[in-house]
């Protein structure tokens, strides 16, 4: 076996801090490739080489970039202790430095270096190697961990809750603030609160109320997209998962990143068990307080609760206290922002702005006439109706072309 390839094989096999990167298929195929040179079976070497390149190509054609990404996103004991500001021994730090040097050597392994040790003159695909200073890159990641995070939070920025576990959204809504028109004052209030959260200042739990289609949910997602590079992550929680929130908060409370727990389209029946769960969270029970987390909720109901006539006139001798307790839930949000249905001028401002954004070739007079007609057919004006109208006009224009 080639001495250099054998040395790389030993370096890969001796990983401790970064041991978990060997759980991925590409690194396992790399290990098989290096071990294939233990004997002179050319057929096995060709198969191992091709298998490794096939797996690498699924992610990247650059071995150095691929391995660097793996180690920067790895949720290892060194990174966790750094994130939690725990003491790191000299021996652990020495281990980290040596492993980064080893991984850099492995990442610099060229396809030519491997191919010249295979007794085969046919075609074998190549990969690239970009020069990096792994120790400098890792130090930058650790020193700025509150921006980058680690583990799945370094790789993804939008999440959902599934069976009480936080699961990444691999293809999230990429809506941007620059795409949203209208409601600037309301949106600025959310931005200011979010910046307070990011900067480690007191931030409020936020309730966005108003008519459907006014852009409440889009605003929250756009703000999460806008500030993801500053360490903001968003986790969407359904109403039936509210009881999971204390556990989620407990798991995230020591994470260096900042999190929005997003509850969309929130409302309760008066006898809903989830009502008490949210009330306890907003009141700040011992298990539900964290400076790096804020709850953002949207609702089409100002008081969150679906009131029935029995709530108002039933046989509950303390019905007034009961109703007041139900409708007071919204008061437990520190910041309440109303997104009301736009009037004609506001609606047309959104229409004209979207038309300009999408370069729709229609006169303002024609736009106004058709947009108003569209709104009548859609039961009124809204930001959603404006966007749907522009989409329809763009489709019609493309069809005419």
The pLDDT tens digits of the residues spanning 314-363 come to 555 455 655 565 566 777 888 999 998 888 998 999 999 999 988 888 88
CA distance 305 to 312: 12
- Order the strands of the 158-162 sheet from edge to edge: 165-168, 158-162, 232-236, 258-263, 293-299, 206-210, 335-339
Runs of H (alpha helix) within 184-304: 184-198, 216-226, 245-252, 274-283
One DSSP character per residue, 57-100 reads HTT-SBHHHHHHHHHHH---HHHHHHHTT----HHHHHHHHHHH
* Residue 320: burial class (beta carbons within 10 Å; 0-12, 13-18, 19+): exposed
* Residue 383: burial class (beta carbons within 10 Å; 0-12, 13-18, 19+): buried
What is the predicted pLDDT for the residue at 270? 56
Q: Give this prediction's pTM.
A: 0.83
Q: Write out residues in the chain with pLDDT < 50, as ranges.
A: 286-287, 309, 317, 400-401
What is the predicted pLDDT for the residue at 13? 96
């Amino acid at each position: 076996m080639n001495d250099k390839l054998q040395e790389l094989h030993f370096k890969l096999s001796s990983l401790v801090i970064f041991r978990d990167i060997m759980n991925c298929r590409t690194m396992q195929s790399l290990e098989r490739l290096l071990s294939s040179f233990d004997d002179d079976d050319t057929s096995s070497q060709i198969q191992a080489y091709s298998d490794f390149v096939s797996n690498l190509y699924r992610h990247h054609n650059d071995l150095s970039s691929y391995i660097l990404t793996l180690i920067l996103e790895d949720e290892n004991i060194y990174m966790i202790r750094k994130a939690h500001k725990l003491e790191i021994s000299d021996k652990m730090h020495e281990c980290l430095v040596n492993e980064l040097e080893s991984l850099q050597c492995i990442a610099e392994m060229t396809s030519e270096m491997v191919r010249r040790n295979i007794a085969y003159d046919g075609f074998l695909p190549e990969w690239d190697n970009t020069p990096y200073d792994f120790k400098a890159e890792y130090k930058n990641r650790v020193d700025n961990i509150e921006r980058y995070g680690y583990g799945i939070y370094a790789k993804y920025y939008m999440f959902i809750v599934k069976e009480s576990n936080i699961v990444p959204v691999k293809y999230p809504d990429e809506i941007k603030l620059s795409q949203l028109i209208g409601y600037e004052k309301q949106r600025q209030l959310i931005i200011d609160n979010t910046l307070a959260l990011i900067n480690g200042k007191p931030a409020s739990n936020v309730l966005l109320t108003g008519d459907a289609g006014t852009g409440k949910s889009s605003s929250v997602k756009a703000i999460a997209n806008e500030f993801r590079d500053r360490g903001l992550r968003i986790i969407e929680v359904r109403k039936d998962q509210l009881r999971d929130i204390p556990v989620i908060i407990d798991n995230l409370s020591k994470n260096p990143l900042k999190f929005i727990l997003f509850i969309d389209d929130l409302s309760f029946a008066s006898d809903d068990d989830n009502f008490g769960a949210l009330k306890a969270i907003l009141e700040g029970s011992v298990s539900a307080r964290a400076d790096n987390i804020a709850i953002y909720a949207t609702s089409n109901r100002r008081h969150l609760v679906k009131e029935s006539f029995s709530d108002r006139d039933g046989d509950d001798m303390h019905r007034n206290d009961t109703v007041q307790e139900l409708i007071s839930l919204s008061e437990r949000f520190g910041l309440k922002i109303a997104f009301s249905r736009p009037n004609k001028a506001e609606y047309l401002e959104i229409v004209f702005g979207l038309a300009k954004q999408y370069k729709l070739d229609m006169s303002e007079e024609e736009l106004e006439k058709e947009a108003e007609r569209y709104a009548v057919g859609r039961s009124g004006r809204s930001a959603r109706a404006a966007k749907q109208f522009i989409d329809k006009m763009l489709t019609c224009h493309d069809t005419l072309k």
